[in-house]
Structure 1
Amino acid sequence: MSTPFKVGMSRELKIKSQPSDSAQKFYANLPNVFATPALGGLMERVSAELIDEHLQPGEQSVGISMDLKHMAATPLGMEVRVKTEITAVEGRKLTFHLEAYDEVEKIGEASHERFIIQADKFNARVAEKAKKMA
C-alpha cells in the first residue's frame, strides 16, 4: 500500500480558550483553567486535520492512544497553540509528537497514534455492536 503520509509532516492549530474549556466543566471542584481533556481534544483535532487533508474517499481516522503531559495551567481567554508532527508511519497507523503553548509558556506535550479506517466497515461494526444492547 502506498501512503501519502511522511515523517515530518506537520500542522498547527490556534484557538482562544473559552469558558466551555474549563476544567470545572468536568468536575466542579477543579480550578477554573484550561482543562486537560480540552488540551487532549485539541491535540486529537490537529492530528486528525493533518490526516484528513490526505485521505482517500471513504476513509477516516480514529485515535488509538495518547500519552499526554499537561505541564502548566492556562487562564481562560488566553490563546492556545498546538503543533503536531508525524514521527512514524506504519501502514495505516500514524504516530505523532505534539507540543502545546499558551501565550506565556509550553503547557503540554504528547505522543498520539491514529489509525486510518474505511468508514463504511467501521460504521457497520459499530452498528452491529449497538444491536447487542437490544
Structure 2
Amino acid sequence: MPTDRLTPGLKAEIVTTVDDKLVVRHMGGEGVLSTPSMIGLMERAGIQAVQDYLPEGHTTVGFEVHVKHFAATPKGKTVTVRAELTEIDGRKLRFKVEAHDEDKKVGDGTHRRAIIAVQRQG
C-alpha cells in the first residue's frame, strides 16, 4: 500500500464551542469539557490531518491514546484541538496532539492510528 503522500508535519485543527454534547457535569455549574470528548476531538483532528493523503479506499482507525487532561474548559468556551503527524511506520501513524481553550493549554499527548482498507458493503 503506497503511503508516499504521507509526510511528517501534516496537521489539522478543530475549533469548536464546548456545548452540552461535550461536557460532564460532576464538576458543578454548567459543566466542563469531558476527557472522552477531548480525546474524541484529538482523534478527529488526526483523521483530518491525513485522510486526503491516503490511498483511495483507505482510512485510519485509532489504536492508542496517551494524553493528559490537566485543566477544565467550561461550557460555552472555545476549545482548539490540534494533531500533527510525527511518525510513519508502515501502516502505523503517530501524532502529537494538544488542546487549548481561550486562556490556556488544557491537554496534550500522543495518539496512534493505523491505515486500513475500507470494507465494501453489499
CA distance in 1, matches of 2:14, 2:99: 9
Structure 1 or 2, whichever has the larger Rg, is 1
> Residues 23, 115 of structure 1: CA spacing in aligned structure 2 closer, same or farther, 3 A cutoff?
same
> Residues 6, 75 of structure 1: CA spacing in aligned structure 2 closer, same or farther, 3 A cutoff?
same
Give the gaps of 5 or more residues in structure 2. Answer: none
CA distance in 1, matches of 2:66, 2:96: 10
Aligned length: 117
CA distance in 1, matches of 2:37, 2:119: 29
CA distance in 2, matches of 1:51, 1:19: 29
Alignment of 1:81-96 (within 5 A): 81-96=80-95
CA distance in 1, matches of 2:103, 2:68: 17
The Cα of 1:57 is off from its aligned counterpart by 2.0
Give 1 or 2: higher helix fraction: 1
Three-state SS of the structure 2 residue aligned to 1:50 is helix
RMSD: 1.5
CA distance in 2, matches of 1:47, 1:6: 13
Three-state SS of the structure 2 residue aligned to 1:100 is strand
The Cα of 1:109 is off from its aligned counterpart by 0.1
The corresponding residue for 2:15 is 14
Summarize deviations over 1:59-83 as a string: whole Å, max 9, x none. Answer: 1110010001001000101000011
The corresponding residue for 2:107 is 108
The Cα of 1:99 is off from its aligned counterpart by 1.2
State the TM-score, normalized to the length of structure 1. 0.82
The corresponding residue for 2:98 is 99
The Cα of 1:56 is off from its aligned counterpart by 2.1
